[in-house]
Chains A and B, each alone.
Chain A
């Protein structure tokens, strides 16, 4: 199928153990612009064979763009990419793959309906009528001998766990002859044991002569496996060196610029009546299997008016299920919820809002807005269906528009007019509009999930300020976040979720990074 000359494939194949004197990957002066935005600014990076190189940086620091250049998804505007001494110019991802560069994405590139072996056999074939399964199985067995990674050939990927899928993804890359392996936040969805296993594997791959790039912003992961580090900030290299010669504090400082203020001073507010009480909430992971594994297992919490309760935990600890259950989108099998002192057992989104709830959803585009509808309609997405903006099913657009204009001013939403389609606004302005919609009705409970994800510094600061103002006015906030610093800096109390269980509630005074981090990774004794 693909027989055209291929600039990416010119590097000669070399088994990983024959290490070469050339570095595995060298980037020099790589620059990538998107319109006026510089995603990568003259980045230099050198990764040697046999090393684990940690690439660090905050969200939006340019890690993803850089790796997309290395894997052929983007072409750099400037600069050179050299793989094992040979300059390359990838136009398509296949070329990077053929040059031995493979990436384990956060979202696996696997076909769930196919078996593991079929996923390995997935490949452009010169003779498509041949069956690639046998050859794939042989390669998989060879990879197993070399790396100890075993797959279950006839299991459907849909039936495999997250870590099993990740393993298959790695085997897939190794089968295709990848010698430079990039792991994008590989620990995000893993249990601590699974992470340990992955860390050992990364070391083993490096010891066998592969080059491993680990993208992460978890210091514990980086210090556990990496030999070298490079920090990106604002698209440029902020520093690079050997792990042995640095400290966590130093890397954190490089990532975020000046030393961050770790704790903002919360004005004491005397907590009022309970706004949200959850008792022994149990939710199955798969709604179709109520007796299967649990996503939430007997979680209890109490949140009072005038309080921010932070919920910390690694991704996949049950946060999404907690929000779903609160909104009534997902059914619980046990447990009770009270909203503003009243039982809330017949749970639907409408009942949640009627009981004084509000939601700043994590996935704004998917859950929080209708991109094609106008800004004023989005700001009034709920109020427009009630009095006084609607009477007997008939809307009052004039009043709704003027309400939207007022809220736009209050919440600093910048748009050409209230008639602009919501989807055309910048992310920060969209989030401000969502905030306006959710906070303007003075709800008794605000559920905020990763409320600043993908926002710039100013918008982030704005969101924090508004949430704190809401607290000061006697509102309750349930802040669910995977960003520990966010939880630490905003919360009055902190609840840690791990493996679907509440692992303890700490007051702001008790909560330190170390203490919370320890609870987050508590081993499940089951």
Chain B
């Protein structure tokens, strides 16, 4: 399999899990109308609190609970600012981002003078399934956090699409007046989702510190919070889209890690890049009424994307003798997200209508 061996797939999952969990929580909050640009700070808070608890009790379960508490703390601040004080959510998010970094680094520098290292979460093999070839090693020999993330994502899908709560949540983010008129508490739903997003981001942060690496460093979340937000936007506020976005991000990141040891970009990488462009091409070819036509691709910017993917396919067949610096690979997910946003002009129509807009009753 060349570059893409089992270890590679495992690293994709490990990279994806915390981003996915945080994005999953943020998706709920954004669907209810609250955008927390400071998710990075919330994750840092979770990462630090988890680590701090670990330093005290050396128990991973309690450590994660501490991380969740840290996340909830950061999210609660967002709730107070966005839902109660009704301030500009973007600016509030920036503040939480700065605070998250400052407070955790401050506390870490002062209260934890001696850095400690813990064992990462143990990997649990699921009996039977783990014996399957490839899949068993990739999917069923993981740590508890990754299993938990999978469960959370599935229950989010269920909650959003199969419960009254999901309907209420969508209504609150779309037409809060309608939810209010139906007796659904806009404030209540928003608080619930913001705090849930805090729980998710806190746990994800704790995974970054004590679950995966076992240490805490300043600013160690390293942009995963921004990535999670980007995934929600890139995913057009749909769970499936978020999953796809996180998959793309994690894959590029894992490839980047792998490429650092290689001189030439192997053909598999080009093939994967070409495959990743397929959904974008398909989306471009989809007209507003849902039908697909090739003629929709005949506009200059769209042709560019089509041409790009053609080149990638060609490279997959005959790899060129070039290497791309690691950092440019790291930038790839964001560039892809930008291209996708620009290509799907209709994307903003899929954003919850009341996103970042505080709700004030009356004036019906």
Seen from chain A, the residues whose Cβ lies within 8 Å of a Cβ on chain B are 1-2, 68, 73, 93-94, 97-98, 105, 107-114, 118-119, 121-125, 128-133, 172, 288
Contact = CB atoms under 8 A, between A and B. Distances in A.
A112 B174 contact: yes
A129 B165 contact: yes
A122 B163 contact: no
B184 A124 contact: yes
B159 A129 contact: yes
A122 B159 contact: no
B170 interface: yes
A132 B180 contact: no
Contacts of A108: 178
Given A114-B167, A124-B184, A288-B288, A131 B178 contact: no
A153 to B, nearest CB: 13
B162 interface: yes
B183 A112 contact: no
A367 B362 CA distance: 22
A93 B170 contact: no
Contacts of A129: 159, 163, 165
A130 B171 contact: no
Given A109-B175, A124-B185, 5 more contacts: A111-B174, A114-B167, A125-B165, A129-B159, A133-B164
A125 B168 contact: yes
A113 B170 contact: yes
Given A111-B179, A113-B174, A122-B179, A132 B185 contact: no
Interface string B179-191: 1111111001000
Contacts of B184: 122-124
B183 A97 contact: yes
Contacts of B364: 68, 73, 105, 107, 109
B346 to A, nearest CB: 10
A73 B181 CA distance: 10
Given A73-B362, A111-B175, A112-B175, A125 B164 contact: yes
Given A122-B168, A122-B182, A124-B184, A131 B162 contact: yes
B68 interface: no
A3 to B, nearest CB: 12
Contacts of B362: 68, 73
B183 A121 contact: no
Contacts of B183: 2, 93-94, 97-98, 123-124
B138 interface: no
A73 B183 CA distance: 12
A481 to B, nearest CB: 24
Interface in B140-184: 159, 162-165, 167-168, 170-171, 174-175, 177-184
A111 B184 CA distance: 13
Contacts of A124: 168, 182-185
A128 B32 CA distance: 15
Residue among A105, A111, A118, A123 with the most chain B CB within 10 A? A111
B167 A122 contact: yes
A98 B182 CA distance: 10
11 contacts: A73-B364, A93-B181, A119-B178, A122-B178, A122-B182, A123-B182, A124-B182, A128-B164, A128-B168, A131-B164, A132-B163
Contacts of A131: 162-164
A133 B162 CA distance: 9
Contacts of B188: 1
Contacts of A68: 362, 364
Q: Which applies to chain A's interface (DSSP): helix, strand, loop or mixed?
A: loop
Contacts of B162: 131
Interface of B: 159, 162-165, 167-168, 170-171, 174-175, 177-185, 188, 288, 353, 361-362, 364
A113 B188 CA distance: 21
Contact of B178 (A98, A111, A133, A288): A111
A122 B184 CA distance: 8
Q: Which 8 A-B pairs have the closest CB atoms?
A: A128-B165, A132-B164, A94-B183, A109-B181, A109-B178, A125-B164, A111-B175, A111-B171
A93 B162 CA distance: 27
A268 to B, nearest CB: 45
A137 to B, nearest CB: 13
A114 B167 CA distance: 8
Nearest to B179: A122
Nearest to B168: A122
A111 B170 contact: yes
A121 B175 contact: no
Nearest to A288: B288
B167 A132 contact: yes
Contacts of B182: 97, 109, 122-124, 172
A76 B310 CA distance: 69
A128 B167 CA distance: 10
B93 to A, nearest CB: 24
Contacts of B288: 288
A109 B177 contact: yes
Nearest to B363: A73
B185 A1 contact: yes
A107 B363 CA distance: 11
Nearest to B180: A93
Q: Which of B170, B174, B181 is packed against the most chain A CB atoms within 10 Å?
A: B181
Contact of B164 (A109, A111, A119, A123): A123
Contacts of B353: 113
B185 A2 contact: yes
Which of B175, B179, B184 has the most chain A CB within a 10 Å cutoff? Answer: B175
B28 to A, nearest CB: 13
A118 to B, nearest CB: 5
Contacts of B178: 108-111, 119, 122
Nearest to B364: A105
Given A1-B188, A2-B185, A114 B174 contact: yes
Contacts of B171: 111, 114, 119, 122
A121 B178 CA distance: 12
- Residue among B167, B180, B353 with the highest chain A CB neighbour number at 10 A: B167
B34 to A, nearest CB: 17
B315 to A, nearest CB: 38
A2 B178 CA distance: 18
Nearest to A98: B183
A296 B126 CA distance: 66
Nearest to B362: A73
A2 B168 CA distance: 14
Of B159, B174, B183, B184, most A-chain CB atoms within 10 Å? B183
A361 to B, nearest CB: 20
A8 to B, nearest CB: 11
Contacts of B170: 111, 113-114, 118
Nearest to B188: A1
Nearest to A95: B183
A287 to B, nearest CB: 12
Which residue, B164, B170, B175, B362, has most C-beta atoms of chain A within 10 A?
B164
Nearest to B289: A289
A288 B182 CA distance: 32
Nearest to A135: B164
B163 A130 contact: yes
Contacts of B175: 109-112
A221 B167 CA distance: 36
A97 B165 CA distance: 20
Contacts of A113: 170, 174, 353
A124 B181 CA distance: 11
Nearest to A102: B181
